[in-house]
Amino acid sequence: MTSYQQVNEQVTDNIEKNKFFSLLKDIPDKNIRVGIIQGQIKRIIISILETELLSPNLFFLPNLKILTLQNSTIKKFPSESLKLSSLEIFKCYNCNLSQIPLFIFGNFNLRYLKFSDNPISKIPASISNLSNLEQLSFNECNLKDLPPKMGQLKYLKILLVMHNKLTNFPDSLCFLEKLETLYLSDNLIKELPEKFSLLQNLSALFADNNLLQYLPNSFEKLSKLTFLELSNNDFEIFPESIGKIQSLESITFDGNNLKLLPDNIGHLENLESLVLNNNKIQKLPNSFGNLIKLSDLSIRENLLKSLPNTFGNLSNLGSLDLENNSIEDLPLSFGNLPRLTRLNLSNNPILKIPEAINRLPAISLLNFAKTPIISIPEPLLHTRTLRNLLLPESQKKILEKNSIDVLEGLLENGCKIEWVS
């Protein structure tokens, strides 16, 4: 049952909302969403609006905490916007702004500031005035550099500057001692400074789609780093410094020019996910078997011919993608993988299903599409967990001739067979 107090609060909120909309006659109601708590407007979202000047009445809201402007064209902000003294979150994205409104730098309570998807080419040094900022987002702007004074934002935890034209990461930003997550993806950065290791609280770094060729030697000191994304850069050598960061749980290194992995990669005892697609890796080190927490591994589109015997030590491996390599067989130790459920060997020169696969106790999906496979061994019938088997359409006739009993037996066991062209 709705209490008298709840009804009273609802009536009060409706009155406040109607009063607010009456002040903003120049903005259609459908373009505004308002959040009211205990009779006070706390949140406003304005979208799909085209205006030369936002209504000054919008800014006489001393209790407003969240203001979002999105998918609009706003050319000018009123001077009255300085009145938003309680504002904590300001989001203005895809509004065709070429510069940051001046009123922003007087709102010292701001914790979250977002200006993504605007043609902003420069961040003023006065950004340092916003000393309480915890999250700052300038994705998809036209930034060519970051102001050194941004390094004074001592409470900043998350910084997003993806899809810009940045060529470097200033030394001064290495003093953001509380920074935990850094997004630098899709820029033109060629190197990270030696002082980068001062970011001692950094736990996630996204620096894919840049021009990086190496990491600073001090990178190994990032003792809290758990997530590392360095895809589509210009690395030819996998940095040994990465192998010394034992806190790492996920590494993505797609689309570089790697040929080998260092032995010390086996020291990453907490690594759970490793993605190395589209490189030139020819061999995995024996130490690879020490990655006992690894659960997801993808090394497709490389030059691997075999796997080390220690591969069978990966006791937590659940998903393995080896598509488009040069693998003909698997080591016997491969059958020791107790948790492997998904295996992709598509587009490898495999003539017969490796014996080790018959001993996988949890396998549910096998992909042998685009292989020259000519037979399926009878022991595969004993893998009662197998539910999906992908085979090459081009080999269908020969497989039905050589292994028809096995194929029929698998179907009876509940395995779905898919012929892939």
Residues forming a β-bridge with 74: 51
pLDDT-derived band at 8, boundaries 50, 70, 90: very low
Report field, pTM of the whole predicted structure over 0.75: yes
Record the tokens describing residue 51, joined without a space. 């205006």
Residue 409 has pLDDT above 90, yes or no: yes
pLDDT by residue (tens digit) across 194-247? 999 999 999 999 999 999 999 999 999 999 999 999 999 999 999 999 999 999
Record the tokens describing residue 42, joined without a space. 């706390």
Q: Are strands 40-47 and 416-420 parallel, antiparallel or unpaired?
A: unpaired
pLDDT by residue (tens digit) across 308-327? 999 999 999 999 999 999 99
CB burial class (10 A; 0-12, 13-18, 19+) of residue 421? exposed
pLDDT-derived band at 83, boundaries 50, 70, 90: low
Residue 268 has pLDDT above 80, yes or no: yes
pLDDT by residue (tens digit) across 151-184? 999 999 999 999 999 999 999 999 999 999 999 9
Q: Compute CA distances 413 → 26, 98, 355, 374, 384, whole Å.
A: 68, 63, 20, 22, 7
pLDDT-derived band at 48, boundaries 50, 70, 90: confident
Q: What is the secondary structure of 207-261 as a DSSP string?
A: --SS------GGGGG-TT--EEE--SS--SS--GGGGG-TT--EEE--SS-----
- Sequence-distant (6+) residues with CB within 8 A of 329 are 306, 350, 354
Residues forming a β-bridge with 29: none
Which is nearest to 360 in space by CA: 312, 409, 411, 399?
312
Q: Are strands 158-160 and 181-183 parallel, antiparallel or unpaired?
A: parallel
Domains delineated in the chain: 341-421 (3.80.10.10)
